[in-house]
Structure 1
Amino acid sequence: MEVGVERLFIGAGCNRIVNNVSWGASDLLSFGAQNAVAIFCPKTAQIVTTLPGHKAYVNCTHWLPSSKFAFKAKHLERHYLLSGDADGIIFLWEFSLADKKWKNVLQVPETHKKGVTCISAIMVSHTDAIFASTSSDGAVNVWELILPSSSGGECKLSCLDSVFVGRKPMVALSLAELPGNQGHLALAMGGLDNKIHIYSGERTGKFVHACELKGHTDWIRSLDFSLPLNTNGETSNILLVSSSQDKGIRIWKMMALHENDKKEETTLASYIKGPIFSSGSSSYQISLESLLIGHEDWVYSVEWQPPQSSLVDGTQFYQPQSILSASMDKTMMIWQPEKTTGIWMNMVTVGELSHCALGFYGGHWSPNGNSILAHGYGGSFHLWRNVGTDFEDWKPQKVPSGHFAEVSDISWARGGEYLLSVSHDQTSRIFSRWCDESSLEDGDAWHEIARPQVHGHDINCVTIIRGKGNHRFVSGAEEKVARVFEAPLSFLNTLNHATSHGSTLADDLPSNMQILGANMSALGLSQKPIYVQASPESSERKNNEGVDTLETIPEAVPVALTEAPIEEQLAYNTLWPESHKLYGHGNELFSVCCDQEGKLVASSCKAQSASVAEIWLWQVGSWKAIGRLHSHSLTVTQLEFSHDNNFLLSVSRDRHFSIFAIKQTGADEISHQLVIKQDAHKRIIWACSWNPFAHEFATGSRDKTVKIWELQNGSSVKLLMTLPMFKSSVTALSWLGIDRMRNHGLLAVGMENGLIELWSFSNTKTENGNVGVPNAALVVRFDPFMCHVSAVQRLRWRNGEKSEDCKGMQLASCGADHCVRIFQVDF
């Protein structure tokens, strides 16, 4: 059986750490998402790929050439990327522009003893880069990297120097070539001792401490050298911008001294101007040029606008006098000197409207200087583009989004219109195709269109209720209560927009829908409905209060979205109201599932004893508890109803699986009985999945095996086969039916190492009803570059069965690497 797999979508948030994002001359952005390096394209607002290899959190990434050196990158066929992680390891990646392929070129040999905190680099020529890295181990390493001039050549890496800075480590770096002095470099570093240290060195080696700049009164957070400034045809000075937790930004001028200046060196006036140091045959003086005050909180990053080509011939480049700063006060500012006075002023401010950003960790310029991007505390991106022609007009743009912690569970809408995911970042998110004729040539792209639940607990499990009626889901978190949510009118209208082509959703819209959206209560646990007709008194009363205390939560403004939303809209305005709470479990909820008709929900919680490990059954609609099933002695890790709803399968940490027969006895009554309990694996059983065509099911365990069983006559179980041992623990399974006549299906297997495999299974019965020989074969192993880099938590086919005419199916997966992925599987 021939199967092709391609990546449709990746949703992931950015690691919440400074220096994590870099904008390359290739016009792609890199960032760390757990242990992966993720690459996103700002034009399509999609994450294009993730790079596997790091074994620890990715702390920082840096493009060679970055947007700062885009003017030197016109003819490059290959771009490079450095990434450093929390174990102190730095990788170099190569990206080929022609075939869009990535490869891991090398690991920097001398690793830091602790996590890498900052990487900074300059391109000295087309093939020669110098980069420096800092770490919390107190060392700053400087390397020279010679890039291959032709394809297939080797990258040559040599260590120029390693500077030990003592017990107070450095967290910010910037490198520059000294003006008018070939081959001499300046390295600025700043950190926990509130001073900026300037080191000077040569291309060939040792860096010596030249001087230190005092002025900041708190940690230095970011440093950036400009390119040499052209004055009267001579390049004699460069500027250094620094930012700190003291909320201030300082601009320092580094000026080359001429022979006649040096005679004055000993006078008092020269010391007022600032410290002097020499490198080779030249001397330089550093003086404070300007102090920029405007941010109200720590300034995490400052960056010069990348050099732009002059209008005359396009080959001359100049450094624009323009600085971008990003701060914990939720704003980014662009600073420029005023035309007449030359005083540096804040010309543009973006971002303060959002109540949800909780501060920005860094800001970056696009190579052409017309876009700026911030990444924030919520793992989110915020992108503004200057769309004005005669005057500046900065407008927010679409960006990719996703969870910023482990994604614990996913569930498809009953018609497959969207995918719902829940995570330990305490949010649930809905991803859907967005039909947007204007922006994309290649069809629809997937986007996050709603964030129905924003909660005070890590969310562990979710299931969407099947069957007729409004969209509903049940989620379970690190609390003993399961919560039921219903889609409000604003979401149904948004979904209509998103899937507008040939959609039949409009027929499902309830005519008497009263709830427009939802608001968060002050303590952030329950989401209260907002009704279509709000009473005027309540709004008047709110206006009169006018007191902004810490307890008040911004009022949500639910509206039907007509284009894919940005972070500010998602964070508050797309909540769903909570309709019920299901009380009963003794511990934090762990797994939940719904039957095929949307009549029953089963749930389980974390358990160390048999009395707590019971499975509760709830009736959809009345939400009464109508059954408690006893069998296991430890946490039930996954539950699934059979395709005909007659059986409920559960697997547990106690290494057993159980099957319960479920029968409807009356309108509100069911009977349930334990049919079988079997010791199945040597270690925890993490996953199970029924065959959609028969009473066969698969179990997957930490013992690295997948076993396929058959339930016979509803009373006994037979082991049909055990698949060959996998390389890693099996953590997720999902069975897709392909051909009912031949009982032929595909089993997706997800592992703890992040990899996914598809196995084909068939078990044809002979004429007289005797069981044929079951057989299973590996169909495809997903390319590691498409897979997760940590444990796969859940796999879900978009529909349980493939219809006759469709050529392909979608498989969704979520993982501990913060990613939600959707694959197109073509037969």
Structure 2
Amino acid sequence: MTDTRGRIHPRFISIGANRIPASSDWDTNSGFIAYGAGNVIALWRVDETDTSPSGVFATLKGHTDKVSAVRFVDDTSNSSSILLSGGVDRVLRVWKLVQPVDESGIPRYELLAQSPPHDGSIVDIAVERTGSSHGTAVSEGVGRNGKSTIIASASADGNVKIWRLDLSKEGEEVLTHLQTLDTKSRYLPLSVALARLSQTSTGSEGGPGEEVWILAVSGSSNYIQMFVGSTEETKSGFVPAATLTGHENWIRSLSFVREATTNDLLLATGSQDRYIRLWRVHRGSTLPAQSAGSKMMIMGQALSNKAHRFSAGSTQEEYSITFEALLVGHEDWVYSVSFRKDAADGKTKLLSASADNSLSIWEADETSGIWVCTARMGEASGMKGSSTATGSTGGFWAGLWSPDGNDVVSFGKNGGWRRWTNSGEGEWVQRSAVAGHIRDVMGVSWEKDGRYLLSTSLDQSTRLYARWKSSKLRSFYEFSRPQIHGYDINSIVSLSSTKFVSGADEKLMRVFGEPRGIAKMLEEMCGIQQADMNSLPDVASQPVLGLSNKAVNTTAEENGEEEDEAIEKQAYPPFEDSLSRHTLWPEEEKLYGHGYEISTIGCSNAGDVIATACKASSVSHAVVRMFETKTWRQLKPALEAHSLTVNRIAFSKDDVYMLSVGRDRQWSVFEKVTEGLEEFEAPYKAMQTMAKAHTRIIFDGKWVPLEAGRVFVTAARDKTMKSWELRGQEWECTETFKFQEPITAIDVLDQVIDLDGERFVVLAAGLENGAWGVCKAKVKENGGIEGWEGWIEVDRYIVPDRTITQIAWRPVGEEKGFEVAISSEDSSVRIYDLVI
């Protein structure tokens, strides 16, 4: 592929976060947020610049199963960014930020090293946190030499492994295994935290000084295990130091910080008992002043303040751990706690995230020293529904501080992030964040004029993306969540500017219409105008026990107009809480007829007919059913041609022909009948069926533009793509193009392009391994195409990680340029620019 006249540039990535508290982190060096998203690590640039849009800009591929732990290594001595990740695949990986190597300017992370596998899934990774952002350090840099440090990884087999990370080395030597700590039997570690107790300036022979470390481990019990170790203790390594008791349920999160005024370490522990406990690690034989008594009274309850004493290091210096404070305020499980120490004033703050749908910021009162909640973000717990103990999966799963402490972020059960910014007056204001599907994305469909994009997924939701005109770079954002369903949704197609139809595992199709509130918002924020806005329904609501979004025509007194105006006049695209509550589209019709799960839906270019198919293993079920879109009556008879599941249905540009391809390795072409039709009779009749058109399953088939002739293209698991041209009354194979992987999705640009005086048809092809590329074929003077060739091979760094399920070129309309949308089984929706 030596042709350099075209290149692909990523424009937008939407992907949701894994619902795992330890799977995200905010980097102090790069300013990026990394979070686990399925098997990949999504990298999110929080703020937009003049040249770089905000949002997810890349996904790191390498893990073979779900990513469950992500941690950046704070390295003030090195401008680079180091990322650690672990997952259900049991392997710990080390990534490093390198300079962009192409004109796109996309920051790139390369895999430096990976560990031998644990015996169980990795559930958390502990790294030392430096002062200004997250917590504790006595020395500056990653280690005393700025190149090495100690890290710990906990896994579901009950073990915690200690590693030395040395960036001065290369290859597998970057990561060295030092020790494995075996926790008690039948104990699942859920969180680990690591801090440096002390460090001598130089060693006995002028080398690096001794580093003394403390490690906290918590999990599926109500106690915290404390270990201490030093670099001088090469034989014994970390040894048990204390067991902290007091919590009444599993302990989900741990965080260390070094207090500026006393130089003591503080440890925060968040538990499923709804409480946060603070513990003080004090150096010396004398106990801290506030721990003089053996009991503390809080809320009328006596709390033990037993001093846990231990010694550490080659000098056996004495330390103590005492209970410091009990933070009461959350009404459900505490998933995450994270300390921050401000560089300016040295104040220590704690951020906590809970299943009660709230983020809380805690700070010690300057006068009394009592820890109080100074800010609370999220919703009132009464809006949450059932508690975690009774089956709720809501709430906030993690809380992260920005490097400067002026922002906090969190994500919830839908995989969408929420962000708050400190206004400077003590008020935290919500800002735009990122969101995305959390399971396989099965389909994408552009609105007929290409003004917005729809996607649907096995996470039982449908989403709408459009350009926000106030964005400097006119970036895409999610503006609506039209359908939230009770079944996995397999297919979607746009019927018009205000309607779409989707098909799910429930064996029927549902038609949705755009409500007036969403239309007004899209007009105000995206410049998308609707001519018949006054005829649209007001809002939609979802019954508690129903699957259908119902249209609700409300009056101002019933709060309908107030809700519409709130959506219309807001300064930002809808936030995650609004998307799932206030941006539904009302359902207009249900279409019945199929006996099994819907597999695909096609719509004529005129928008007057849709064709549908379902999963099938017999001729009677592998039929194509047709519905007209005015009264939604089924057009009979159903079209029989296939014996197994039909995978894709496509109409020619002028709707004269309809193509279907399927699992039975054959394609069928149906021709439109315009005369002699009875009322509600199917307007298409079988023209030709090609048995064994490919040697394996045919996944996709599309028509080329009319100006290139009567030609369609099919793509299959046999790694071949074939062109079929109408010659007389028969369709014949004229071109075969071979790929290295099975082809799972294709789409043809709806216009012929001119390159150096020659005319070409352009096709995007997606593969089973997530790779994709652009092909082109020359248009012959007398009609037809010839000479398929690879044109643009898309960089592996910017493609999906798993099978591509659908590709859709944006219709070339008012918006200039060429854009292609891709859905993938890695739960992502991606939009790329084709730059010529």
TM-score bracket, normalised by the shorter chain, equals: 0.7 to 0.9
TM-score normalised to structure 2 length: 0.87
| 1:117–1:528 CA distance, 2 compared to 1 (3 A) | same
CA offset at residue 335 of structure 1? 1.2
Q: Distance in 2 between matches of 1:556 and 1:633?
A: 48
For the pair 1:111 / 2:124, whether they are aligned, the reply is no
Q: How does 1:280-319 map to 2 (within 5 A)?
A: 280=313, 281-305=316-340, 307-310=341-344, 318=346
Check whether the contact 2:749–2:762 (CA below 8 A) recurs between aligned residues. Answer: yes
Q: How does 1:322-721 map to 2 (within 5 A)?
A: 322-353=349-380, 355=383, 358-388=394-424, 391-436=425-470, 440=472, 443-466=473-496, 471-500=498-527, 505-506=528-529, 508-510=530-532, 512-531=534-553, 533=555, 539=558, 559-562=567-570, 563-627=572-636, 628-665=638-675, 669-678=681-690, 679-693=692-706, 694-713=709-728, 715-721=729-735
Q: Indicate which of 213, 228, 239 corresponds to 1:200.
A: 228
For the pair 1:823 / 2:829, whether they are aligned, the reply is no
Check whether the contact 2:114–2:172 (CA below 8 A) recurs between aligned residues. Answer: no
Q: Distance in 2 between matches of 1:217 and 1:371?
A: 32
| Structure 1 portions without partners, runs of 5+ | 66-71, 312-317, 543-553
Aligned equivalent of 1:248: 275
For the pair 1:788 / 2:800, whether they are aligned, the reply is yes
Q: Distance in 2 between matches of 1:295 and 1:811?
A: 45
Q: Deviations over 1:234-264 (max 9, x none)?
A: x3x2111111111111101111124x779xx
| 1:7–1:395 CA distance, 2 compared to 1 (3 A) | same
Q: Distance in 1 between matches of 2:542 and 2:294?
A: 63
Q: Distance in 1 between matches of 2:413 and 2:430?
A: 18
CA offset at residue 530 of structure 1? 1.9
Aligned equivalent of 2:40: 36
Q: Distance in 1 between matches of 2:555 and 2:356?
A: 36
Point out the more displaced range, 179-188 or 34-43: 179-188
Q: Distance in 1 between matches of 2:59 and 2:271?
A: 32
Q: Deviations over 1:608-649 (max 9, x none)?
A: 211111111110111111131111111111110111201111
Aligned equivalent of 1:101: 107
| 1:96–1:201 CA distance, 2 compared to 1 (3 A) | same
- Structure 2 letter corresponding to 1:796: A
| 1:353–1:245 CA distance, 2 compared to 1 (3 A) | closer
For the pair 1:758 / 2:794, whether they are aligned, the reply is no
Q: Distance in 1 between matches of 2:583 and 2:310?
A: 58
Point out the more displaced range, 731-740 or 190-199: 731-740
Q: Distance in 2 between matches of 1:745 and 1:6?
A: 20
- Structure 1 letter corresponding to 2:658: L
Check whether the contact 2:276–2:328 (CA below 8 A) recurs between aligned residues. Answer: yes
- Structure 2 letter corresponding to 1:700: A
- Structure 2 letter corresponding to 1:230: T
- Structure 1 letter corresponding to 2:788: A
For the pair 1:812 / 2:821, whether they are aligned, the reply is yes
Three-state SS of the structure 2 residue aligned to 1:708 is: strand
Aligned equivalent of 1:80: 82
Aligned equivalent of 1:314: none
Q: Deviations over 1:316-365 (max 9, x none)?
A: xx3x2211110111111111122222111122111125957821111111
Aligned equivalent of 1:279: 312
CA offset at residue 561 of structure 1? 4.9
| 1:100–1:620 CA distance, 2 compared to 1 (3 A) | closer
Q: Distance in 1 between matches of 2:565 and 2:455?
A: 23
Three-state SS of the structure 2 residue aligned to 1:362 is: coil
Percent identical residues: 32
Q: Distance in 2 between matches of 1:396 and 1:101?
A: 27
Check whether the contact 1:591–1:638 (CA below 8 A) recurs between aligned residues. Answer: yes
CA offset at residue 512 of structure 1? 3.7
Aligned equivalent of 1:169: 188
Check whether the contact 2:705–2:751 (CA below 8 A) recurs between aligned residues. Answer: no
| 1:556–1:136 CA distance, 2 compared to 1 (3 A) | farther
Three-state SS of the structure 2 residue aligned to 1:78 is: coil
CA offset at residue 584 of structure 1? 0.9
Q: Distance in 2 between matches of 1:594 and 1:43?
A: 39
| 1:624–1:141 CA distance, 2 compared to 1 (3 A) | same
CA offset at residue 155 of structure 1? 7.0
| 1:558–1:656 CA distance, 2 compared to 1 (3 A) | farther
| 1:8–1:108 CA distance, 2 compared to 1 (3 A) | same
Check whether the contact 1:148–1:155 (CA below 8 A) recurs between aligned residues. Answer: no
Q: Distance in 2 between matches of 1:164 and 1:154?
A: 24
Q: Distance in 1 between matches of 2:669 and 2:378?
A: 54
Q: Distance in 2 between matches of 1:129 and 1:373?
A: 27
| 1:261–1:723 CA distance, 2 compared to 1 (3 A) | closer
Check whether the contact 2:331–2:356 (CA below 8 A) recurs between aligned residues. Answer: yes
CA offset at residue 763 of structure 1? 3.9
Aligned equivalent of 2:150: 130
| Structure 2 portions without partners, runs of 5+ | 49-53, 129-141, 201-209, 296-303, 385-392
Check whether the contact 2:113–2:171 (CA below 8 A) recurs between aligned residues. Answer: no
Three-state SS of the structure 2 residue aligned to 1:360 is: coil
Q: Distance in 2 between matches of 1:284 and 1:675?
A: 86
Point out the more displaced range, 154-163 or 612-621: 154-163
Q: Distance in 2 between matches of 1:342 and 1:434?
A: 46
| 1:50–1:344 CA distance, 2 compared to 1 (3 A) | same
CA offset at residue 295 of structure 1? 1.0
The number of residues matched between the two structures is: 764
Q: Deviations over 1:395-424 (max 9, x none)?
A: 111001111111110000111111000111
Q: Distance in 1 between matches of 2:395 and 2:583?
A: 21
- Structure 1 letter corresponding to 2:742: S
Q: Distance in 2 between matches of 1:272 and 1:93?
A: 42
Three-state SS of the structure 1 residue aligned to 2:797 is: coil
TM-score normalised to structure 1 length: 0.88
CA offset at residue 154 of structure 1? 9.6
CA RMSD after TM alignment: 2.7
Q: Deviations over 1:259-284 (max 9, x none)?
A: x779xx9x999x96321111122111
Q: Deviations over 1:129-168 (max 9, x none)?
A: 321111102221111112249xx99973222211122331
- Structure 2 letter corresponding to 1:495: L
Q: Distance in 2 between matches of 1:362 and 1:87?
A: 22
Aligned equivalent of 1:548: none
Three-state SS of the structure 1 residue aligned to 2:481 is: strand
| 1:802–1:704 CA distance, 2 compared to 1 (3 A) | farther
Q: How does 1:121-160 map to 2 (within 5 A)?
A: 121-122=127-128, 123-125=142-144, 126-148=146-168, 156-160=174-178
- Structure 2 letter corresponding to 1:94: K
